[in-house]
Amino acid sequence: MNKNTIPHFIGVITSVIVIALLVNFTIVDDCLDKGGAFSYETGQCLFANQEVYVASYHTYLVALYFFIGVTVAFYVSKLVRKILRRAVEAKLLKIKLKAEYKLVIRLLCRACV
């Protein structure tokens, strides 16, 4: 995997998880509050008389899910990219310090001889 795709991948996976939690909090809880049973196989709220309940705000939720998904994916990928960049910089600094330490030890050993 390319190093530039890893932050995007993590951002999208996080976004999917957040949207799944939002679906559970909005549609499923609303269905259960109305006295229905939510069928996860069909994605519908069924009442005891087999009537299907459709929330009045269901169409607005799709737009909200899209907006939240894009926003979460964007910010999570920026955060992951920043974390990875700092980790790489720290590793490079550690390598540089180790090389400088070895150089100082060599110079001190030569000066002692």
**pTM: predicted TM-score of the whole model, two decimal places:** 0.66
Residue 98 lies in a domain: no
Residue 110 lies in a domain: no
Residue 54 lies in a domain: yes
Sign of the CA dihedral with 46 first, then 50, 55, and 58 last: positive
Residue 94 lies in a domain: no
**Segment 43-99, tens digit of pLDDT:** 788 888 888 877 777 778 888 889 999 999 999 999 999 998 888 888 888 888 788
Q: Contact 11/80 with Cβ under 8 angstroms? A: yes
Domains: count for the chain: 1
Domain that holds residue 19: 5-88
Residue 30 lies in a domain: yes
DSSP one-letter string for the chain? --TTHHHHHHHHHHHHHHHHHHHIIIIIHHHHHTT-EEETTTTEEE-TTSPEE--TTHHHHHHHHHHHHHHHHHHHHHHHHHHHHHHHHHHHHHHHHHHHHHHHHHHHHHHH-
Residue 96 lies in a domain: no
pLDDT of residue 15: 93
Residue 73 lies in a domain: yes
Residue 19 lies in a domain: yes
